Amino acid sequence: MKPQPRTAGSLWRIFRWPLAVALVTLVGLLSALIGDGPYDALSWLLLGGLLALMAVLWRRGG
């Protein structure tokens, strides 16, 4: 195998989406804990978003 560029940039490229997903997860998990009503709804939206993301990535795969 060939040597690859060894920069922090590629680490950022690999983990920027997973980090964004983790942030969405964290906010989704905490919002329903902090409040009711709209806070619950935000939680449904964000954690439901994880399900939607997995479905989209699976369907898009070729």
Partner 1 sequence: MTGAALWEGKAMAMSQSAIKGWYLVHKWTSLICTLFLLMLCVTGLPLIFHEELEHALEGPGALEQVAPGTVAPGIDAIVAKVLASRPGEVVQYASFDDERPIVTIGTAPKADSPPAALHNQPVDLRTGKFVPPTPKMTGFLEVMNKLHTEMFAGVYGTWFLGLMGALFLAALVSGVVIYAPFMRKLAFGTVRKTRSTRLKWLDLHNMLGVVLTGWLFVVGATGVFNTLDLPLAMWWRGGQLAEMTAPYRNLPPPTRIGPVSEAIDAAAQASPGMKVSTISWPGTFFSTPHHYNVFMVGTTPVTSKLLKPSLVDAQTGKLTDTRDMPLLIKALFLSRPLHFGDYGELPLKIIWALLDVAAIVVLGSGVYLWLGRRRAPIVRHVDEILSGSEA
Positions that interact with partner 1 (CB under 8 A): 1, 4-11, 14-18, 21-22, 25-26, 29, 32-36, 39-40, 43-44, 47-48, 50-51, 53-54, 57-58, 60-62
Find the shortest distance in angstroms from Cβ 62 to partner 1. Answer: 6
> How many CA within 13 A on the CB side of residue 43?
12
Find the shortest distance in angstroms from Cβ 11 to partner 1. Answer: 5
Cα–Cα distance for residue pair 10/62, rounded to 1 Å: 24
Place of tokens 């939680």: 43
Which amino acid is located at 29 in the chain?
A: L
Find the shortest distance in angstroms from Cβ 61 to partner 1. Answer: 3
